[in-house]
Structure 1
Amino acid sequence: MNITPLVWIITIAVTILFFVWEFFVHVRKPHEPTVGESARWSAFYIGLALLFGVGIGLVSGWNYGGEYFAGYLTEKALSIDNLFVFLILMTGFAVPKIYQQKVLMIGIVIALIMRGGFIAVGAALIENFSWVFYVFGALLLFLAYRQAFAHGESDPANGRFMRFVRRILPVSDEYNGDRLTVVKGGRRFVTPMLLVIVAIGMIDLVFAIDSIPAIYGLTEEAYIVFTANAFALMGLRQLYFLIGGLLERLVYLAQGLAVILAFIGVKLLIHALHKNELPFINGGEHVTFIPEIPIWLSLLFIAATITVATVASLAKTRKDRAALIGGGGA
């Protein structure tokens, strides 16, 4: 792709304007969105993301279009997993419903900024060091293992880091609207709202480490990486309120994401072999007898994995609920 600096500037400016507009139109006044409002805006942002992908396919070719759609699907799935952690966080900190929009908005903006930084670093590394594909591939295999076997073991609201923050900062016991600090008895305290934002920032850092190597395993185009991430994060706030109850039923989402991360990790390692320049591997020569995984297969595999994980999750929770009711658990 030949992306000019002007196209980059316009893309980043429009992305920022979207989030500024979201804040002033939807988030500035505290309220809990209705299901109808959340559904309409979720459909709008998903439709916009799909139209953008079609535009990339028509302008730059469908190979790039396929890379965008595969990246968007992967980032959207990882973002939904991010929402699950946000749900645990909101519950752990007992954030009032009317203020959850603001917390989510801040978390999404922090995520976009962090991912933007990782995208720039990743692009520079890939351009200058072909061996970085080995690092990304190995990292994704490790993250896949962690995703499959360590998901949900920690409570981000009461983890070691948050206990440390509570020890060094005076924290008030209750919320004061959406304020971050409050003065009581002549002394300034931070409110639980500030702790929530700090926790979300830490979570966003962890998810950025997951998501950026994953999408660079699908495309080397920094523009596709950025736009797929931006569209995956757009509408995430509305999606949280739309599928809040469904999140707890996606019991196999972690395993599905683990399969996707492992698949992309293997794809990255194969790509690394094709670009190999390390002298201790095949004498520094490219290893090409293993065929690279085409983007159409990646797209089909990711879509199928997400579908299977969702259907299996809903089937299991429905079966468990039926067994509970049949056994008198209701």
Structure 2
Amino acid sequence: MLVPLWVWLATIGGLLVLLAIDLVIVDRKPHEVTVGEAGRWVAFYVACAVAFGAGLWAFAGGTAAGEFFAGYITEYSLSIDNLFVFLIIMSAFAVPKVHQHKVLLVGIVLALVMRGIFIAVGAVAIAKFSAVFFLFGAFLIYTAVKLSREGLGEDEEYEENALTRFARRILPVTDRYHGGASVVRVDGKRFFTPMFIVMIAIGTADLLFAVDSIPAIFGLTKEPFLVFTANAFALMGLRQLYFLLGGLLRRLVYLPIGLAVILGFIGVKLILEALHENSLPFINGGEPVPVPEIGIAVSLAVIVVVLAITTVASLIKSKRDAAAAPAVPAATGTPAGGVPAAGADADEPVQDPVRHKG
């Protein structure tokens, strides 16, 4: 699939326009995003992805469209993992709800940039070394086993990573949020706010997600254009999906198993493709191995069926558990990260105590 430069530029330009529209409409005034507003935006982004896939079908054929939709659905489902971690980070740093959408926007932009870099590197590696599919496949199978054993970790407490701890140590950070600002002046001196630290935490989490997701989508298509666009459309709607799902995320109890099955399936598919194109001298004398190939139609069907089964099973189990469990009063506590809980005065730009570096 040869993609002209102007198509790349037009696609990136269109994605930037979508981001700009989102930024102007949603971020024109800090506010708490409602479920209805989030639902409309999620529907809008899904419609954009479907329209893009239909365009691929019309101009590039059914195979390209099938690979895009398989990649898009896979990336969208793997993004649920992002949402669990985002929930933990937002809670740990007590980010005011009216500013959570800004943090998510920064996280999505960082994710797009980092995944673009990973996609470029992955495409070059695949073009030069077909055996890299063995590594990708083995990594995905390992990730699948790990995910099935550990789950998504939604009940874990957030622990700051090395980069976040380093930033706290060397930078002067205020103890309070100052609206949506990342940098403020206190007594004539420049200080960073907890918002800046949150963005570092989100950005480093995005980096880890990219390492997991890029090999998965390369198992469905080798075309960098389809890999990038599937990632982009999946990420674009992630911010609104966060507000739409909310507490529903914790009800998807079987999702880790479903994602593990999908990643394991794609890992096996990658290894079969690597064997089919084998050139390693210690495997079959460097000759291709006659193994069956898994078509994109089968891949798409497996992904959709697995997600449907795990989602329905999760909701049924959660409903039964909720009906059987007694009501538990909400617990209160001090959030992690050294940031006071968001309240009426969480955004007031007052002369507050400052956590100095050191």
Give the TM-score of the pair, scaled to structure 2.
0.87
Give the letter for the 2:310 counterpart. Answer: A
Q: 1:266 deviation in Å?
A: 0.6
- Structure 2 counterpart SS, 1:182: strand
Partner secondary structure for residue 130 of structure 1:
coil
The aligned residue for residue 88 of structure 1 is: 88
The 5-angstrom pairing of residues 147-158 of structure 1 reads 147-150=147-150, 151-152=152-153, 155-156=157-158, 158=160
Contact kept in structure 2, 1:156 and 1:162, CA below 8 Å: no
Q: Structure 2: state its 5+ residue gaps.
A: 330-358
Tell me the amino acid that sits aligned with residue 145 of structure 1: V
1:75–1:215 Cα contact (<8 Å) kept:
yes
Alignment partner, residue 177 of structure 1: 179
Give the equivalent residue in structure 2 for 1:103: 103
- Say how many residue pairs are matched: 327
Q: Displacement of 1:165 after TM fit? A: 3.2
Question: Amino acid of the residue matched to residue 74 of structure 1?
Answer: T
Aligned mates of 1:183, 1:57 — CA distance in 2: 53
The equivalent residue for 2:315 is 314
Q: Is the 8 A contact 1:275 1:286 kept in 2?
A: yes
Pair 90,329 (structure 1): closer, same or farther in 2 beyond 3 Å: closer
1:60-209 map, 5 Å: 60-150=60-150, 151-152=152-153, 155-156=157-158, 158-185=160-187, 187-209=189-211
- State the 1:267 CA deviation: 0.4
Q: Flag the 1:329–1:200 CA change in 2: closer, same or farther, 3 A.
A: closer
Query: Which of 241, 246, 249 does residue 248 from structure 2 map onto?
Result: 246
Question: Match for residue 9 of structure 2?
Answer: 9
* Post-superposition CA distance 1:193-231 (Å, at most 9, x none): 011100011010011111111000000111111111111
Corresponding position: 1:292 with 2:293: yes
The secondary structure found in structure 1 opposite 2:242 is helix
Give, as a single letter, the amino acid of the residue that structure 2 aligns with 1:237.
R
Deviation at 1:168, TM superposition (A): 2.9
- Partners of 1:92 and 1:102 in 2: CA distance: 17
2:57–2:64 Cα contact (<8 Å) kept: yes
Q: Secondary structure at the match of 1:248?
A: helix
Q: Deviations over 1:142-169 (max 9, x none)?
A: 2212322233175445345433432333
Say whether the 8 Å CA contact 1:140–1:261 is kept in structure 2: yes
Distance 1:80 1:102 in 2: 19
Distance 1:170 1:157, change over 3 A: farther
Q: State whether structure 2 residue 30 is matched by structure 1 residue 30.
A: yes
**d(CA) in 2 for partners of 1:157, 1:200:** 13
Q: SS of the counterpart of 2:231?
A: helix
**In 2, are the aligned partners of 1:3 and 1:223 still within 8 Å (CA)?**
yes
* Contact 1:75-1:228 at 8 Å conserved across structures: yes
Normalising by the residue count of structure 1, what TM-score does the alignment of the two structures yield? 0.94
Distance in 1 separating the partners of 2:314 and 2:160: 27
Q: Secondary structure in 2 aligned to 1:95?
A: coil
Per-residue CA deviation, residues 86-144 of structure 1 (Å, 9 max, x unaligned), is: 11111111000000010010001111111111111111111111111111111111221
Is the partner of 1:271 in helix, strand or coil?
A: helix
**What's the counterpart of residue 214 of structure 1?**
216
SS state at 1:320 partner: helix
Write the distance in 1 (CA, Å) between the matches of 2:133 and 2:46: 30
Please, what is the CA RMSD of the aligned residues?
Answer: 1.7
For 2:156 and 2:121, the matched residues in 1 are separated by 29
User: SS of 1:277's equivalent?
Assistant: coil
Range 55-64 or range 152-161, more displaced: 152-161
Higher helix share: 1
